[in-house]
């Protein structure tokens, strides 16, 4: 077992400002080390993180304490047939004809409504005025919930994300997350009961009616999935849209290429997921002793998998510190499937069920934003920068543009 050299602590402000410098040292000198404050082993190399996601020896038992207090018991905690059936119940809504035919208009409508608020102004702070709201508005609409409650869902979403990123175990953040679980349940359970009795054509009704081999989701299952969808479905798309725009603005020749050929938006998204993923850490728990680079992890330990480090591993990618939508060592045809060769959506049986929803949202949003802001530029004097540890993205992104008639 190696000991980590002097690097900014994962819980420090220095790490939150620039984790990538620390990631390089970890990959090279401390690919596996014990982090006492988090009570977790930390792995940073692509090969090790990919194995932790794929190898059945690594379980999601850690979610019993990491997710359940805020979400309730979710699909991420299940395994075997129980997991396969529950995933089979929810997955159809997030792929293929169902996604494109039924929910694409919902995505387009919500993007347009937000953009209409600033398209004539010539300026927008993209994070606060668009990215933060767009995916949550889409999810609320897909579920067929009252649009007047968008602000309430936004507050719950913020609380859930703060709980999940509470690596320092701040008791106030933890208590707020647990209050959110109670409030969300009080709001959702009566609506779920009503949809069972009077189903409509929305996602929530479909979850209530979905059945495989006589198995249906319970009211608690559906409520927990809605909570998970708010967090996982909101955070990745929220941060990804701002990060894609920031990355392209810093690389104007690539922005020009995307503007000219919108099919490159998918490449820009895939490269952003590799270069600056929205989620930098996912935890796992091995059910037996497992040997990785640098040593052996004892059974039952928590393992923090550093996606942000693994996705910049020089053993996997050429010139990994360079943002390049045209790189040929990132397969964009599989980037939004369980065969992806980046790690932003995890891998294996717990690959993100909403990956194609995120791709669709990003493509719609970027197309509409580029149409509304054809000469978009960063506001004078502003330098785009990421913030965050557990999740990460631009904190602000003030933009200027010439309004289109």
Q: Which pLDDT score, from 0 to 100, does residue 5 have?
A: 59
* pTM of model > 0.85: yes
Distance CA 249, CA 377 (A): 7
pLDDT confidence band for 1 (50 / 70 / 90): low
Q: Is the dihedral of CA 250, 251, 257, 261 positive or negative?
A: negative
pLDDT confidence band for 330 (50 / 70 / 90): very high
pLDDT confidence band for 396 (50 / 70 / 90): very high
Q: Which pLDDT score, from 0 to 100, does residue 2 have?
A: 52
Mean pLDDT over the full length of the chain: 91
pLDDT in tens, 20-29: 999 999 999 9
In the predicted model, what is the mean pLDDT of residues 37-52?
96
Indicate the angle between helix axes 219-228 and 171-197, nearest 10 degrees: 130
Is residue 247 predicted with pLDDT exceeding 90? Answer: yes
Minimum mean pLDDT range among 44-53, 74-83, 156-165, 231-240: 74-83
Q: Which pLDDT score, from 0 to 100, does residue 52 have?
A: 96
Q: Which pLDDT score, from 0 to 100, does residue 86 have?
A: 75
Is residue 3 predicted with pLDDT exceeding 60? Answer: no
In the predicted model, what is the mean pLDDT of residues 19-45?
95
Is residue 4 predicted with pLDDT exceeding 70? Answer: no
In the predicted model, what is the mean pLDDT of residues 31-52?
95
Minimum mean pLDDT range among 107-111, 151-155, 269-273, 399-403: 151-155
Distance CA 12, CA 33 (A): 17
Give the up-direction half-sphere exposure of residue 213: CA atoms within 13 A in the CB hemisphere: 6
- The structure tokens 């409504």 sit at 113
Q: Which pLDDT score, from 0 to 100, does residue 398 have?
A: 98
Percentage with pLDDT > 90 across the chain: 67
Residue 297 main-chain phi, psi, to 5 deg? -100, 125
In the predicted model, what is the mean pLDDT of residues 213-238?
88
Is residue 62 predicted with pLDDT exceeding 70? Answer: yes
Q: Which pLDDT score, from 0 to 100, does residue 212 have?
A: 81
pLDDT in tens, 79-133: 777 777 777 877 777 777 777 778 899 999 999 999 999 999 999 999 999 999 9
User: How many degrees, rounded to 5, is the angle at CA 255 between CA 109 and CA 313?
Assistant: 105
In the predicted model, what is the mean pLDDT of residues 143-157?
89
Minimum mean pLDDT range among 99-103, 151-155, 161-165, 397-401: 99-103
> In this structure, how many other beta carbons lie within 10 angstroms of the beta carbon of residue 329?
12
Is residue 276 predicted with pLDDT exceeding 90? Answer: yes
> In this structure, how many other beta carbons lie within 10 angstroms of the beta carbon of residue 148?
8
Is residue 205 predicted with pLDDT exceeding 60? Answer: yes
225, containing H or E segment:
helix 219-228
Tell me, what DSSP letter sits at residue 298? P
Q: Which pLDDT score, from 0 to 100, does residue 356 have?
A: 87
């Amino acid at each position: 077992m190696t000991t980590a050299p002097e690097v900014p602590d994962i819980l420090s402000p220095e790490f939150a400002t620039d984790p990538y410098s620390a990631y390089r040292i970890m990959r090279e000198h401390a690919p596996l080390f014990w982090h006492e404050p988090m009570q977790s082993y930390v792995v940073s190399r692509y090969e090790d993180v990919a194995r932790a996601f794929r190898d059945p020896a690594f379980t999601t038992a850690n979610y019993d304490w990491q997710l359940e207090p805020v979400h309730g018991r979710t699909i991420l905690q299940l395994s075997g047939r129980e997991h396969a059936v529950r995933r089979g119940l929810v997955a159809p809504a997030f792929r293929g004809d169902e996604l494109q035919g039924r929910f694409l208009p919902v995505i387009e409508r919500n993007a347009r409504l937000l953009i209409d608020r600033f398209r004539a102004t010539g300026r927008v702070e993209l994070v606060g005025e668009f990215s933060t709201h767009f995916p949550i508005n889409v999810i609320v609409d897909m579920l067929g919930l009252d649009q007047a409650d968008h602000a309430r869902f936004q507050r719950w979403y913020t609380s859930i994300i703060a709980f999940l990123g509470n690596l320092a175990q701040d008791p106030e953040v933890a208590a707020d997350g647990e209050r959110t679980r109670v409030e969300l349940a009080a709001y959702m359970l009566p609506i779920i009961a009503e949809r069972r009795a009077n189903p409509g054509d929305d996602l929530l009704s479909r979850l209530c009616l979905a059945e495989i081999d006589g198995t249906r989701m319970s009211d608690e299952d559906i409520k927990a999935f809605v909570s998970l969808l708010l967090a996982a479905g909101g955070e990745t798309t929220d941060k990804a849209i701002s990060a894609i725009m920031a990355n392209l603005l810093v690389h104007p020749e690539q922005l020009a290429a995307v503007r000219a050929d919108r099919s490159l938006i998918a490449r820009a998204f895939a490269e952003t997921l590799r270069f600056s993923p929205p989620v930098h850490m996912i935890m796992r728990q091995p059910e037996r002793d497992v040997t990785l680079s640098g040593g052996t992890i004892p059974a039952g330990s928590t393992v923090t998998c550093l996606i942000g480090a693994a996705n910049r591993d020089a053993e996997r990618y050429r010139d990994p510190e360079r943002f390049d939508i045209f790189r040929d060592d990132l397969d964009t045809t599989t980037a939004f499937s369980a065969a992806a060769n980046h790690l932003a959506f995890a891998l294996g049986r717990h690959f993100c069920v909403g990956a194609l929803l995120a791709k669709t949202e990003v493509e719609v949003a970027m197309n509409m934003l580029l149409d509304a802001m054809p000469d978009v530029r960063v506001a004078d004097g502003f330098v785009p920068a990421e913030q965050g540890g557990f999740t990460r993205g631009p904190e602000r992104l003030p933009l200027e543009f010439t309004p289109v008639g």
